[in-house]
Chain A
Amino acid sequence: MNAPTPLITAARYHVPLIIRGQVIEDADLQFGGRRGGVAFTTPDVRRHVDALFLREPGDLADIHALTSEEIFDYLDALGGELTLDRNPYLQEAFELSCQTSGLSSGIVRHLYQTVGALFRKSFVRELAENAIGVRYLDGWVERRMASGCVCSIRAFGARAVHVLSGNVPMPSALGVIRNAITRSDAIFKTPSNDPVTAAAIARTMVAMAPDHPVTRHLSIAYWKGGDEQVEAELYRPDRVEKIIAWGGQASITHIARYIQPGIDLITMDPKLSSSIIGREAFADEETMRAVAARAALDIAYFNQQACASSRVTYIETGTDAGGLAKANRFGELLFEAIQALPEQCSGPGAMEEELADEIQGLRLMSEDHIILGGRGDEGAIIVSQTDEPVDFARILNNRVANLVPVDDLEVPVQSVTAYTQTIGLYPDSLKTQLRDRLVFNGAQRLVSLGYACKAAMAGPHDAMEPLRRMCKWITDENNDPAAVPLLSEV
């Protein structure tokens, strides 16, 4: 009874280091995970750092020799192998994610069951075509300039490091797809809360096609973010040209010191999202119920863990007594709708302590908030009784949302910031009415209410265009002095 509570239990997981098809299984180091106390062993990347980066840039030739269709075929086949029921690597990743993600197992199962579908040929082709244009990937595209110059343009791959974020398989899967489409050579730095998923995909690739160029241009490594012995060796312009960093300050802090001319940093910033619901939604009880069901998805899908998850919902009910009554009724309907979501969408989740304390503070001290739920793991709706969001809106999480009644939609428009990502709106006409102004203030993605987490995946990814930026856009400029006079002759 005197033993301190162990924060770390014995290592159960082993994570290999994978370097371009070669799987290194040493267990040199042990790292502690989070939540459930999961820990894992992994090779010491410091011992392998010389092999980790692509020493010969010319070695990218093999993957550039492939056509896009060949790459799509490969990815399509890979997607078929990523079937949870029969892929032991993915099963292990799923099991670990259940323990570390803070999400209910219903959601996690759904995510891992559907990850293979992302690799489907039709989707990948659409993604490549929309983001880059397949002909720019497959060869040089000639363009005649007004000067007479014939400028051939091709999108080349680059040597890249992807600093991944945890919780879900999506960043790993998208990383593999994007790396293949752009014909790049990628080193994935995995996060401590999910060191397994990216490795699971890579091991499936090794098992499926060990010598294929797409397999041979992917490496998976875990090192502790900030480890100078790894990062100072790796992040050098002659070794790495692009860094794709998920997560904000936490991942950038370590990387920032290495950024210099010759290294492109592509940040997949963490963002916060919100919803705006116009007065039409509150016309009658039936409409309110239907709109609440859509708002519930934007808030609680995936237990509000995503950047697209809505945290604050502005409702144009008005703030007079009648307006507040509508707002409070809408809060009840929203709370019910969240509780009624199917388990593959959303489920009970333990509230983080900081948030639980804030809610308790409001419950005990505030005259300006009504709190529905929030005593256990069911989530909560905080209905502001003024037109202001709670001060802790930034940390709303795990199915805790804030409803803010407003008299005027100027309030939500003026509340958009540089850290806003998605805004779900109802009715759709409100989008047309507000969208330019929402964008000027910082919004990146506008969506019909209810679809915040069902993104147009083959689109520009929250204003970031990562695929285009992952390529090196090279020109071959052909000039005939007969047509294009030399500079000395002008």
Chain B
Amino acid sequence: MSLIVNARPAGGAPGKAIESDAIDHDDLAAHPHKLIALPMNAKFGFDRQELEAIQLTGLQARFAALVDRIPVLRKFAEDQKLTEIRTLEDGALLLFPHSLYKSYPLSAVEKQRFEQLTRWTQALTAIDLSAVDCSGCETIDDWIERLDAQTDLRMRHSSGTTGKLSFIPMSREENLWSVLGIDATFSRFGDEPGSEGVRYGEAPLIAFGYRHGSQSFPRTIEALVEHFYGGDESRVLCMNPGRISADMASLAGRLEGAQAKGALGRVQLSPGLMARREQFLEEQAQAPRHLDAFFERLSDEFRGQRVILQGVLPPTVDAAMQGLERGLHHLFAPDSAFFLAGGAKGRALPDNYRELVEKFTGVAFPPSGYGMSEATSALTRMCPQGHFHIVPNLIPYLLDPDSGAPRPRTGTQTGRLGIIDLGCQTRWGGFLTGDEVTLNHGDLTPCGCGRKGSYIEGEIRRYSEIRGGDDKITCAGAPGIHDKALDFIAGASA
């Protein structure tokens, strides 16, 4: 589940080189999540040996601390006959498939068996969920709220466009570190161009998305408000002040599940979901009013200001188009910071979307980036040489896409990317992406931009696209109905 990220720094501490001896290596090895908050100069200033020393100690510590607290990690390690980590290479045996995060039975949601979902979650997290009381929960939203209220767990869920929702159990603290990681992308590396001075908290935040909910975007806003804005909502403006509902996001998968179950599924579908649908319709009816209010405030309160812009690509382009329609353009100071995540996600965007966004905001379109939603903080933006550098809290692995055998961690290799994120403190940070990448480990041919360490060269491709069926036809199967479910939402909102 990779995502493309665009981040344009707005300065910060200008190009001040951080010598590696100014960094407390022992502290980082003992608390490797602190790697997340290092400024770019430090993140990409490690020599290979010193970084690997930190990573190995960090990995060993994480494994030792979590193996007995996260049941699925223990089982996974037992399967691999791994009792301790000796080398960084051992980490290649501990990469979870993404399916793990959606391995719950859909019927638990359909039949509102949220205790079962909680037990399922418990297998993935070191946070104690034994005291969570799910009584009275009718919807996924209710359940996540309950977890928020009673524990440190801050569940994140996927957008649901591929069917079943994935649930990634992050902690409150990881949620905060995650935004420190985003903040760090605004710091400058060396003498690379970028305007001066704006970091989260120092300027108002304009967010092209929902304020509330449990997808990455609203969770990020939640942490930014808490950590950088001291809870002061007046300095944060979201395009939609409402909540993006997990139940609505799960609709496609649930309809598909219901369809696959025949009449049995139709019986299960009705109660809770239909109530949610009513609510969703009501929210949709409110949306134009919210949008008017959003543009009004942008124009009245924030015009000409230096701000931080935050968005996911498609809704940001939508906002730009709607804003331009209202005659709003060049709204903000050109030295504002801009953080933009997500690819087109299957949406057809106008060819000139970059210009539209620039014209509306008055801020240069940020350079591309790469990240993965399974990680606490994986964001990296493209260097002037056109490469994505791997941030130091991530240990990258490349695997043979067929055999799963790890490729040597040296030189330039192509394969399926796996990651261990040392930033994860309460769940296991190892996961396998669906991406084919060419990774230069940076040991033989370092990148010309001056960043040290490994970096992704060239195109990142989804294996599902590489191997997908252009013309393959078989007689076994049944159509998925994602599109119909999305139509259902669209129809409901029309």
Interface residues of A (CB under 8 A from B): 1-5, 7, 34, 163-167, 171, 191-193, 224-225, 246-251, 268, 270-272, 304-307, 309, 353-354, 356-358, 360-368, 388-391, 393-394, 397, 411, 414-417, 419-420, 441-442
Contacts and interface: CB of A to CB of B under 8 A. Distances in A.
B100 A364 contact: yes
Nearest to B98: A357
B352 interface: no
Contacts of A1: 408, 411, 413
A368 B107 CA distance: 12
A403 B267 CA distance: 22
Most B C-beta atoms less than 10 A away, residue of A192, A247, A354, A363: A247
A270 B477 CA distance: 5
Most A C-beta atoms less than 10 A away, residue of B104, B408, B466: B104
B429 to A, nearest CB: 16
A5 B401 contact: yes
B122 to A, nearest CB: 10
The 9 A-B residue pairs with the shortest CB-CB distance, nearest first, are: A247-B473, A361-B103, A419-B478, A4-B414, A357-B99, A270-B477, A192-B471, A357-B97, A165-B473
B260 A394 contact: yes
Contacts of B75: 363-364
Given A364-B75, A411-B264, A417-B260, A270 B474 contact: yes
Contacts of B478: 248, 270-272, 394, 417, 419
A309 B475 CA distance: 10
A225 B476 contact: no
B467 A34 contact: yes
Contacts of A363: 75
A364 B103 contact: yes
B475 A307 contact: yes
B120 A306 contact: no
B83 to A, nearest CB: 17
Given A358-B103, A365-B123, A414-B264, A246 B475 contact: yes
A363 B76 CA distance: 9
B466 A192 contact: no
A309 B476 contact: yes
Given A1-B411, A364-B75, A364-B76, A415 B261 contact: yes
A2 B475 contact: no
B185 interface: no
Most B C-beta atoms less than 10 A away, residue of A397, A415, A417: A417
B476 A365 contact: no
Contacts of A165: 473-475
A273 to B, nearest CB: 8
B365 to A, nearest CB: 30
B106 interface: yes
B66 to A, nearest CB: 15
Nearest to B475: A307
B72 interface: yes
A250 B261 contact: no
Contacts of A360: 97, 99-100
B470 A225 contact: yes
Contacts of B103: 358, 361-362, 364-366
A305 to B, nearest CB: 6
B31 interface: no
B479 to A, nearest CB: 5
26 contacts: A1-B408, A4-B438, A5-B401, A7-B466, A192-B471, A193-B472, A225-B470, A247-B475, A248-B479, A270-B476, A271-B475, A307-B475, A307-B477, A356-B97, A357-B98, A357-B99, A358-B103, A361-B99, A361-B103, A365-B103, A365-B104, A367-B119, A394-B477, A417-B259, A417-B262, A441-B262
Contacts of A420: 262
Contacts of B98: 357
A442 B265 CA distance: 14
Contacts of B448: none
A272 B475 contact: no
Nearest to A34: B472
Nearest to A417: B262
A225 B471 contact: yes
A268 B477 CA distance: 12
B117 to A, nearest CB: 11
A365 B76 CA distance: 10
A250 B164 CA distance: 22
Interface in B451-494: 463, 466-467, 469-480
Interface in B418-463: 438, 463
B105 interface: yes
A307 B264 contact: no
Contacts of A4: 414, 438
A368 B465 CA distance: 33
B475 A224 contact: no
B413 A251 contact: no
Contacts of A368: 105
B227 interface: no
Contacts of B392: none
Contacts of B408: 1
Nearest to A358: B99
Interface in B276-304: none
Interface in B1-34: none
Contact of B102 (A270, A305, A361, A441): A361
B257 interface: yes
Contacts of B472: 34, 166, 191-193, 250
B39 interface: no
A125 to B, nearest CB: 25
Nearest to A245: B473
Most A C-beta atoms less than 10 A away, residue of B257, B467, B473: B473
B411 A246 contact: no
Given A2-B412, A192-B470, A414-B264, A272 B477 contact: yes
B263 interface: yes
Contacts of A365: 72, 100, 103-104, 120, 123-124
Most B C-beta atoms less than 10 A away, residue of A271, A306, A365: A365
